[in-house]
Amino acid sequence: MLEIRLYLAQRISAAIMAPLVLLHLGLMIYAIQGGLDAAEILGRTRGSLFWGGTYAVFVIAVSVHAAIGLRNVMREWLQLRGPVLAGLSWFCFALLLAAGLRAIVAVVATP
**DSSP characters over 31-68:** HHHTT--HHHHHHHHTT-HHHHHHHHHHHHHHHHHHHH
CA distance 27 to 19: 12
Position 38 confidence tier, pLDDT thresholds 50, 70, 90: confident
Lowest-confidence region among 5-14, 38-47, 88-97: 38-47
Q: What is the pLDDT of residues 64-101, one digit of tens each?
A: 999 999 999 999 999 999 999 999 999 999 999 999 99
Distance CA 104, CA 111 (A): 13
pLDDT at position 14 over 90: yes
Are residues 12 and 57 in contact, defined by beta-carbon separation less than 8 angstroms?
no
In the predicted structure, residue 42 carries a pLDDT above the cut 90: no
